Amino acid sequence: MNVLREYFGRNVRQYGIVLALLLIVLLFQLLTDGRLLAPNNIAALFMQNAYVMILAIGMVAVIVAGHIDLSVGSVVAFIGGLVAIMMHNWGWSVPLAILAALVVGALVGAWQGFWIAFVGIPAFIVTLAGMLIFRGLAIVLVGQTIAPLPSSFNRIGNGSVANFLGFAGQMDVVTLVIGVIAIVGLVVSQVRARANLIKHELTVEVFGVFIGKLVVMGALIALVTYWLSLSRGGTPIILLIVGVLVLGFTFLMNRTVFGRHVYAVGGNRNAAILSGVSARNVDFMLFVNIGLLSAVAAIATTARAGAGVAAAGQNFELDAIAACFIGGTAVAGGVGKISGAMIGALIMGVLNMGLSILAVDAAWQQAIKGLVLLLAVALDIVSKRKGALR
Amino acid sequence: MATDATAQDGRGAGGGAPAGDLILQMRSISKEFPGVKALSDVTLEVRRGEVHAICGENGAGKSTLMKVLSGVYPHGTYTGDILLGGEEVRFKGIRDSEEAGIVIIHQELALVPRLSLAENMFLGNEQASGGVVDWNKTRSQAAKLLRRVGLHDNPDVTPLDIGVGKQQLVEIAKALSKKVDLLILDEPTAALNDEDSAHLLGLIAEFRDQGITSIIISHKLNEIAAIADRVTVIRDGQTIETLDFHGAETITEDRIIKGMVGRPLDNRFPDHEPQIGAEALRVEDWTVYHPIDTERMVVDHAHLTVHQGEIVGLAGLMGAGRTELAMSVFGRSYGANISGRIYKNGQEISIRTVRDAIKHGIAYTTEDRKALGLNLIQTIRENISASALGKVSNWWGVVRGGAEDVVAEKYRKEFRIKAPTVESVVGKLSGGNQQKVVLSKWVNADPDVLILDEPTRGIDVGAKYEIYGIINALAAAGKAVIVISSELPELIGVCDRIYAVSQGRITGEVARADATQEELMRYMTMEKTPAGAGQAQEGTN
Ligand SMILES: Nc1ncnc2c1ncn2[C@@H]1O[C@H](COP(=O)(O)OP(=O)(O)OP(=O)(O)O)[C@@H](O)[C@H]1O
Ligand SMILES: [Mg+2]
């Protein structure tokens, strides 16, 4: 019992946020008489919030390194407009337009990264300027809404993975297969990590806790899989894309030299430089990276809307930043996890959806989201203070 | 030395505090952090009007005990009783303890770099009437307090404009601005040279005459022997003994060490048989200017050589330019308009960045471990591998977790870093253990030339001995080692050859056999003289 208490005490912030998500889900499930967790809503939840998740992946890294990016919303509008023009006006093929969008995203990132890393202007200022610049360019570019776009493109945002394996009862088999792969992957990776720790005679969590954790996480994935398999289309394509990005970037941040340099720079920039880390290169690459992810978000958003609009991406930067902070990223840098930010994004998404189902006024929705952000961070800080004094 | 003289006199005057009058009693204090029992059943009794020293190895719990006393860890987060003047006190925070007349100066200096000295001294205690700060009063009070600690600087300058030694005195002046009966100093002289230390100890003796009781934590046992009336030894979170310098038994440094480490330590410096090989690093005509005040020369045409297997010392007073010399060689991480040549194994090399320096097998451990040496919010493991991630990652940049764990664990054991696992966050380690992490990090990078800047700052005698052992082992493995230290006995005990630095110039070079403190001191204080006369060269290589 004591061991358990200590374990949860140490990991309170990680579980606190998962718990918060579950509570919010439960709350709305009750308030909406069970409509929140209808299969089609679950699928829509991921489709609607894919952009926050994609942007938050890049934003976590940027904030961990001690910067911020205010421009992502405008960049999404700019690149979204561009990709629509390329297909609609210039008749480019879908793959070519996507490739071009990604290249432009990287270039936009390189532009901002240049001023931040090599000229030494604070990211807050550079990206504030970027926010104005790219919003302006988006409006210039997209005079009127650009539509229609090729349906194969729109499927990226709205479509689901093709059901080529048929149905098992009501359930989409492709979705079930994906769910099983996810669970197996989870178990294998966790068991291997644990085995590795044991091999090197390092402390591991108590076996019971370990199994319990696996069972809970596996059950959650199974539940989501089950609901998705009952939804209209099965697994949303965009959910697969987000999943791949989350896995890839988690690996990048945790397991690669580059990721370690990001945390080192964020934790103590001078010490990192004196350890031979090129802080400038790290900064530059981080902004190229978030530029690329902004392009992915732009593709997702434009595809979902089925049109290029100049007003797209409004407030996306705030959503992404809020997701990071709800998810436990430290304002001062040095600390933050992609998994946390994803849960942060889901909290915001569930709030949005639940409040919409309840037909709460949009203005109130905004106020409530603000309050949740404040409470989440307050909880985090208070729990940390307790930890420090114990 | 000056240290001994001032302080010895001081003790003669104030040592006779009546044994019965206890200003402070701490009874069976225990304090736990998650996973660490920092204090278990510690007892401390301090007499009114004495200088009471606390000694113990790194991580013994000295700082923690003082934080309990001063309310940093409030009542309820520890167990045991604190009695002040015979009455029990329960502090909820630092404010409470200050009200009771206890002022603590922490191990880490806590001045705000960009505020003036006057603002710093009255931070949280602003001289104001009706919420409006009275600047004239602030300044004049500040100037008065500064003079009391022997500083004649303008209270409008910032801590950045004065050296570490003076900053420490400002901290003391700040303490004096409050009502203080009991002054706690946690390693006040760790970052000071002998002269500044002597001045500070003299002040403490003066305070004693004025009726202020002091508790001083230090790893410099000669200082304790010189100034303290009594000393309490703490080991592994427990009180071992309290020794009285005025008692029947003569208390020597060795006697204190025996209490600290639990056995007598025969020798302060391990034996070292130099096996000097070919030239490893030569720096020629090295000149560096101040990065902001670019007219000012901080390193002045320095020449310096170090051979494989050789340990070379750099002696100098605070501000002589030793750190500046080292950091400018280490990938130009300090200074402007750097000129000169660097030869590695006889070949001229060009080093423009820290990466270049590391690539050429040069490593530098900083004297300022908190600001420049460590990532305090990361773990021991992550800090140790930070400078050599390449060694534990594969060709496409993926860190092999297992390999990294093994490396970190090896150093934790080898250097006896006191922490439950390598996953402990570095910021929570005691000062000395943090220093061991810094050393591990650079030994792990496996350099050919290792520059150690104040490697034993804030480290206990036992661990110092271990670190000297590590330095010897590195030299025995053919590495060239340069040691910068403000402690002359340390340089003389460890180095094969010592350069003296004064005002940015290398003013002398002394072989181990001929090295005495007086000789080194003479070079270290050599003023800039008309051309040629200062470039004294003694002994050849
Ligand atoms: N905030 C904290 N959280 C967890 N452990 C802590 C914390 N502060 C101190 N410790 C641990 O408590 C023990 C005592 O630390 P303390 O700083 O009191 O040592 P010290 O005697 O002052 O050592 P040094 O001479 O190195 O300064 C150490 O093992 C340290 O790692
Ligand atoms: Mg300490």
**pLDDT 10s digits, B228-280:** 999 999 988 899 999 999 988 888 888 888 888 887 777 788 888 889 999 99
Q: Looking at the domain assignment, is residue B203 inside a domain?
A: no
Contact A77, A84 (CB under 8 A): no
Question: Considering its fold, how many domains does chain A have in total?
Answer: 2
Whole-number pLDDT of residue A305:
94
CB of B61 closer than 6 A to ligand 1?
yes
Shortest alpha-carbon distance between residue A278 and chain B (Å): 8
Residue B375 and residue A390: Cβ atoms within 8 Å? no
Say whether both B434 and B480 belong to one domain: no
Q: What is the rounded distance in angstroms from the CA atom of residue A203 to the CA atom of residue B343?
A: 46
Compute the half-sphere exposure of residue A111: CA atoms within 13 Å on the CB side of its CA.
17
3-class secondary-structure state, position B288: strand
**pLDDT 10s digits, A95-110:** 999 999 999 999 999 9
Say whether both A324 and A383 belong to one domain: yes
Nearest to B236 by CA among B52, B471, B7, B416: B416
Structure tokens at B307: 């051979």
Structure tokens at B500: 């003296």
Residues of A in contact with B372 (CB under 8 A): 270-271, 274
- Residue where a domain stops, chosen among A204, A235, A266: A235
CA dihedral A71, A75, A77, A81 (to 10 degrees): 160
Answer yes or no: is pLDDT of A267 > 60: yes
Residue A255 and residue B423: Cβ atoms within 8 Å? no
* A221 contacts: CB under 8 Å, gap ≥ 6: A179, A182, A183, A186
Give the number of other CB atoms < 10 A from CB of residue A365.
16
Say whether both B325 and B453 belong to one domain: yes
- Residue where a domain stops, chosen among B251, B266, B281: B266
Handedness of CA B514, B515, B519, B523 (dihedral sign): positive
Q: What is the rounded distance in angstroms from the CA atom of residue B473 to the CA atom of residue B311?
A: 11
Residue nearest to atom 27 of ligand 1 (CA): B431
Say whether both B541 and B452 belong to one domain: yes
Residue A334 and residue B393: Cβ atoms within 8 Å? no
Distance B60 CA to ligand 2 centre (A): 8
Whole-number pLDDT of residue B457:
84
State what percent of residues in chain A have pLDDT above 90: 66
Say whether both A294 and A384 belong to one domain: yes
Question: Considering its fold, how many domains does chain B have in total?
Answer: 4
Residues of B in contact with A13 (CB under 8 A): none
Average pLDDT rounded to a whole number, residues A163-176: 86
Answer yes or no: is pLDDT of A139 > 90: yes
Say whether both B536 and B474 belong to one domain: yes
CB of B462 closer than 6 A to ligand 1?
no
Counting ligand 1 atoms within 8 A of each CB, the residue from B36, B55, B374, B464 with the most, and so the one to mutate, is B36
Quick one: pLDDT band at residue A34, thresholds 50, 70, 90? confident
Whole-number pLDDT of residue B466:
85
Say whether both A58 and A168 belong to one domain: no
Q: Looking at the domain assignment, is residue B24 inside a domain?
A: yes
Average pLDDT rounded to a whole number, residues A357-369: 90
- Residue where a domain stops, chosen among A235, A266, A285: A235
Say whether both B326 and B432 belong to one domain: no
3-class secondary-structure state, position B257: helix
Whole-number pLDDT of residue A10:
54
Say whether both B393 and B534 belong to one domain: no
**pLDDT 10s digits, B474-484:** 999 999 999 99
DSSP string covering B108-122: S----TTS-HHHHHT
Residue A276 and residue B375: Cβ atoms within 8 Å? no
Task: Report the nearest atom of ligand 1 relative to the CA of B64.
Answer: 18
Say whether both A145 and A192 belong to one domain: no
Whole-number pLDDT of residue B410:
92
Q: Which domain holds residue A126?
A: 2-158+238-389
Quick one: pLDDT band at residue A3, thresholds 50, 70, 90? low
Whole-number pLDDT of residue B500:
94
Whole-number pLDDT of residue A154:
95
CB of B135 closer than 6 A to ligand 1?
no
Say whether both A138 and A173 belong to one domain: no
Say whether both A230 and A267 belong to one domain: no
Counting ligand 1 atoms within 8 A of each CB, the residue from B430, B435, B457 with the most, and so the one to mutate, is B430
Say whether both A228 and A258 belong to one domain: no
Say whether both A244 and A376 belong to one domain: yes
Question: Which helix (H) or strand (E) segment is B450 a member of?
Answer: strand B449-453
Say whether both B93 and B117 belong to one domain: no
Residues of B in contact with A251 (CB under 8 A): 398
Residues of B in contact with A271 (CB under 8 A): 371-375, 386
Whole-number pLDDT of residue B7:
40
Query: Nearest chain B Cα to A263, which residue?
Result: B378
Whole-number pLDDT of residue A14:
63
Contact A372, A321 (CB under 8 A): no
Say whether both B428 and B472 belong to one domain: no
CA distances from A246 to A16, A161, B277 (A): 21, 18, 53
Across the interface, which of B372, B374, B398 has its CB nearest the CB of A255? B398
CA distances from A373 to A377, A386, B475 (A): 6, 20, 56
Say whether both B71 and B21 belong to one domain: yes
Quick one: pLDDT band at residue A58, thresholds 50, 70, 90? very high
Shortest alpha-carbon distance between residue B382 and chain A (Å): 8
Say whether both B352 and B466 belong to one domain: yes
Whole-number pLDDT of residue B450:
95
Say whether both B451 and B438 belong to one domain: no
CB of B428 closer than 6 A to ligand 1?
yes
Give the number of other CB atoms < 10 A from CB of residue A44.
17
Q: Which domain holds residue B132?
A: 110-178
Say whether both A193 and A275 belong to one domain: no
- Residue where a domain stops, chosen among B446, B469, B493: B446
Whole-number pLDDT of residue B9:
41
Q: If interface means Cβ-Cβ distance under 8 Å, which residues of chain A face chain B?
A: 6, 9-10, 193, 196-197, 199-203, 251, 255-258, 260-261, 263-264, 267-268, 270-278, 334-335, 387, 389-390
Q: Looking at the domain assignment, is residue B369 inside a domain?
A: no
Say whether both A250 and A342 belong to one domain: yes
Q: Looking at the domain assignment, is residue B374 inside a domain?
A: no
- Residue where a domain stops, chosen among A186, A201, A235: A235
Say whether both B350 and B496 belong to one domain: yes
Residue B387 and residue A275: Cβ atoms within 8 Å? yes
Q: What is the rounded distance in angstroms from the CA atom of residue B198 to the CA atom of residue B215?
A: 17
Q: CATH no. for residue A15?
A: 1.10.3470
Q: Are strands B213-217 and B230-235 parallel, antiparallel or unpaired?
A: unpaired
Quick one: pLDDT band at residue A383, thresholds 50, 70, 90? low
**pLDDT 10s digits, A186-230:** 999 889 888 877 876 666 778 888 898 889 889 989 999 999 999
- Residue where a domain stops, chosen among B222, B247, B266: B266
Say whether both A252 and A376 belong to one domain: yes
Average pLDDT rounded to a whole number, residues A242-247: 95
Say whether both A244 and A278 belong to one domain: yes
Residue ranges of chain B with per-residue pLDDT less than 50: 1-17, 530-541
Average pLDDT rounded to a whole number, residues A113-126: 96
> Among A307-321, A356-370, B210-224, B264-278, where is mean pLDDT lowest?
B264-278
Across the interface, which of B73, B387, B421 has its CB nearest the CB of A276? B387
Q: CATH no. for residue B276?
A: 3.40.50.300
Q: What is the rounded distance in angstroms from the CA atom of residue B196 to the CA atom of residue B318?
A: 9
Q: What mean pLDDT value characterizes chain A? A: 89
Q: Looking at the domain assignment, is residue B433 inside a domain?
A: yes
Whole-number pLDDT of residue A13:
58
